[in-house]
Chain A
Amino acid sequence: MKKKLLTRLLCMVMAAGLLSGCGSKAADSGQGEKTPSENQGEEASEPADEEPYEVVMAYFAMGNYADAEAVSQEMSKITKEKINVTVKLMPMDVVSFVEQMTLMLSGDEKLDTLLISQNFNMSSQIAQGQLVDITELVETWCPDAVEVIGAENLEGCKVNGVLYGLPPTKEYGVEYGAVMRKDLVEKYNIDLDSIKTWEDLGDVFAVIKENEPEVYPLVSFDSATSIGEMILGSDYDLLQDKMGVVKLGDQNKTVVNLFETPEYEETLKLVREWYQSGYVYQDITTTQETGSSLMAAGKAFAWLANMKPGYAEQESKNSGVELVQVNLSEPIACTQDVAALQMGIARNCQNVEKTLAFLNLLYTDADLMNLLTNGIEGQHYVLNDQGKASLPEGVTDSGYVFNHWEIGNNFITHLWDNDVDDLWTITEEFNKSTKKSPAFGLSFDLNDVSTEVAAVNSTMSQYRMVLENGTVEPEEVLAEFRDKLKAAGIDAIIACKQQQMDARK
């Protein structure tokens, strides 16, 4: 409540600073008085169990969601009966989503549950008190969700000991490796089982380079990920921001400077060698093309990736070229593999309990989840003999396209006909087999060293990509990079992380 007042006060001060803002100032203070009375009105009718509570759920979607309203109505039929709640889905495009959440959360607009993520300003939402602390509440209202997600994984979602959201069930980990074009692998009789280390990949690339001059043996997955990063990820938990990392399997849990490690040096050398031998796509640091579009154009043979079960199938589908995957690491679970996306409760929510009960249903009710992820049966998908979903005949442009990873318990939903047969079983096995990072379950709070973080980030963006993609000679540039990082204050960040790590031990 205090924080809420503070935000509002800040709003007023800012508005009052400008003459023209007079109108807005009045608007802000007026609104503060108006909404609570509205709240009371709704809450008063609650006990009578007449008016179902409407849960507004905001999240981002990539495809077509024109029929979201129809799906909402179908979902409401289920939820109304079970917990007297109706649902209003509010899918948005990514950019719109970020913008809308900032705006909606700063007012008292109707919004109950939203997708939260470190990629979408979660830290500032927490700092401004816009998310509800559900640490205690989940035990009472979401017992099934807690069981499905697993207590250990849920622990990993906490920030400074406070839980703000529930992660979806998906693969809670990654395995590093490469995907390659199947036709070329078969054409040159490449024995995938013989590839055991990253160095072995070089020999494969050499074959392609020699026989297929039109094809680049190695490209990057997208312009945000480097080749070196994928190799290093199999050795270190990069703690998402790569400033101060932890070696996998390090029982002492020491935070180290990745860029000073011998592994980093070796990786750079390897990638540089690949680059100089012409294995790497020469425009790798400047291109806007994704690996999958280069693959579709027949210009690429492989890219390195952090993969999950069924990754090759998924990417084959996207690029239209059949791919095979080579795993070069064990399945590794880091904090962000679990906590990257969660459904949180907005400050604006007027009935936290009902909203949590609704989220809980998303982990147990298969019909509800199928509506959310696949749409309405018969209209957006039909089931075939094997129980897999596909587009109804004659439908090319479905009015409801969502995905299998963002929200709720995906393991209870129908698979699509181009998915691997027992994807969910494989994924569950995969989750059990993951090796947990020493820093698993820890989300760092770097507010104290935010100046250093900004400085280190800008240094990294200057050097990392060119080094890790092999476009420059590491011997000269790496020393310069290290000096600049020191000057930017990377040690302070490492110390800050170490402190938080020790505090938890």
Chain B
Amino acid sequence: MIKSRKMEVFAYIVIGLIGISIILPFLLLLMSSFTDEISITRNGYSFFPKEFSLNAYAYLGKSSATIVRAYLVSIFVTVVGTVWGLVMTVLCAYPLSRRELPGRKVMNFYVFFTMLFNGGLVPTYLTYTQYFHIKNTIWALLVPNILVQAYNVMLAKTFFQTSIPVEVLEAARVDGARETTIFGKVVLPLAKPIFATLGLFISVTYWNDWTNGLIYLTDSKLFSLQNLLNRMTSNIQFLSSTSLGGNVTAADLPSQTVRMAIAIIGVVPMLAAYPFFQKYFVKGIALGAVKG
């Protein structure tokens, strides 16, 4: 008993340290977004800014057109993408979880295979742009790479296999239910935890995604928030690492504090959504993780 007590204290200390190492940088990000720009260059980053300033947020407010637009794009893509992705993933995973499905092994392998190998960037790009014509459309942010991910399908499949007893499905069938009824009335209500887990996974992926924007978009009207932030930071990196003579100047690029502020407003929605998912989160991932 005493031993386990000690263990407990030790575990809390470890978890506490990990927690601090995650929270502190975030706090620093938050504080520096409230620091005066010149004060950062002069004194470096600090948890307790000498000169408190709301300039960065004021700047965001001023050039709001671009940022609000990007924010809306992000929200739209995340909402639509999550719902759509969830439906597709579950509809793919559920049949694969049923042992009666003919050719199940082959299809399972097919899904699994995409986790290991893919076509590579250039062929993927050519296929999407030349056959699906998604370049510079909103589809570019929704479809490629994120919509149905093999890992999520596997997770959902395992969940259906392990946590919904076959007997329940058989009982439903004995009562005269058809497949659609079984799925809608029996399986779905039991699958809430996995919905929450997948929903969180997918929405975070959509919210954080900037690569699709980088590859398939050149039209600045469609940039999402992460895309915008990524472009800003990489432009600045480029400027400080490549010398094109005295030609290129950072005049039009936002300052450090502005970037911090954008990062903050980019994090907030996810931060706000997380507690609502948390209840189901642990359950879903633990159950889905058991390979069956």
| Interface residue ranges, A against B (CB under 8 Å) | 11, 14-15, 18-21, 23-24, 27-28, 31, 62-66, 68, 90, 92-96, 99-100, 102-103, 106-109, 117, 119, 170, 174, 221-225, 288-290, 292-294, 296-299, 305-308, 311, 314-315, 317-318, 337, 340-341, 396-397, 401, 403, 405-406
Contacts and interface: CB of A to CB of B under 8 A. Distances in A.
Contacts of B221: 66
Contacts of B21: none
B130 A290 contact: no
B252 interface: yes
Contacts of A28: 123, 126
Given A27-B131, A107-B125, A94 B253 contact: no
Contacts of A293: 41
The 8 A-B residue pairs with the shortest CB-CB distance, nearest first, are A297-B41, A24-B123, A63-B252, A95-B234, A93-B231, A94-B238, A24-B119, A297-B42
Contacts of B63: 397
Contact of B41 (A19, A20, A225, A289): A289
Interface string B119-154: 111111111011100010000000000000000000
A314 B246 contact: yes
Contacts of B120: 14-15, 21, 24
A222 B114 CA distance: 43
Given A62-B248, A63-B252, A311-B246, A296 B38 contact: yes
SS class of chain B's interface: helix, strand, loop or mixed? Answer: helix
Interface stretch (B86-94, B181-189, B212-220, B264-272): B212-220
B243 A341 contact: no
Given A19-B113, A20-B114, A106-B122, A96 B231 contact: yes
Interface string B241-283: 1111111111111000000000000000000000000000000
8 contacts: A20-B113, A24-B123, A62-B235, A109-B129, A117-B244, A224-B240, A224-B242, A296-B41
A95 B231 contact: yes
A442 to B, nearest CB: 18
B17 to A, nearest CB: 27
A251 to B, nearest CB: 26
A15 B230 CA distance: 30
Given A27-B126, A66-B221, 8 more contacts: A15-B123, A21-B119, A24-B123, A96-B218, A222-B239, A307-B246, A318-B250, A401-B252
A153 to B, nearest CB: 15
Contact of B121 (A31, A103, A341): A103
Contacts of A317: 251
Contacts of A94: 234-235, 238
B243 A222 contact: yes
A149 B288 CA distance: 66
Contacts of B106: none
Contacts, number: 152
B122 A11 contact: yes
A430 to B, nearest CB: 13
B122 to A, nearest CB: 5
Contacts of A337: 245
A132 B65 CA distance: 40
A305 B42 contact: no
A268 to B, nearest CB: 20
B205 interface: no
A21 B123 contact: yes
A182 B243 CA distance: 25
Contacts of B241: 222-224
Contacts of B125: 103, 106-107
**Residue in A19, A221, A293 with the greatest tally of chain B CB atoms within 10 Å:** A293
Contacts of B3: none
A23 B220 contact: no
Nearest to B247: A405
Interface in B96-131: 113-114, 117-127, 129-131
Contact of A341 (B38, B131, B244, B250): B244
Contacts of B247: 170, 403, 405-406
Nearest to A69: B219
A27 B123 contact: yes
Contact of A299 (B41, B65, B242): B41
B6 interface: no
A20 B240 CA distance: 40
Contacts of B117: 18-21
Contacts of A340: 244-245
Contacts of A298: 38, 42
B66 interface: yes
B239 to A, nearest CB: 7
Nearest to B130: A31
A93 B243 contact: no
B122 A119 contact: no
B5 interface: no
Contacts of A307: 246
B119 A15 contact: yes
Given A23-B127, A107-B130, A308-B246, A90 B66 contact: no
Nearest to B65: A397
Contact of B62 (A20, A92, A305, A396): A396
A27 B121 contact: no
B211 to A, nearest CB: 9
A478 B283 CA distance: 61
B126 to A, nearest CB: 5
Given A95-B214, A95-B234, A95-B235, A24 B242 contact: no
A96 B231 CA distance: 8
B127 A27 contact: yes
Nearest to B234: A95
B113 A66 contact: no
Contacts of B218: 90, 92, 96, 100
Contacts of B231: 93, 95-96
**Residue in B42, B125, B220 with the greatest tally of chain A CB atoms within 10 Å:** B220
Contacts of A314: 246, 249
Contact of A318 (B119, B127, B235, B251): B251
A132 B256 CA distance: 41
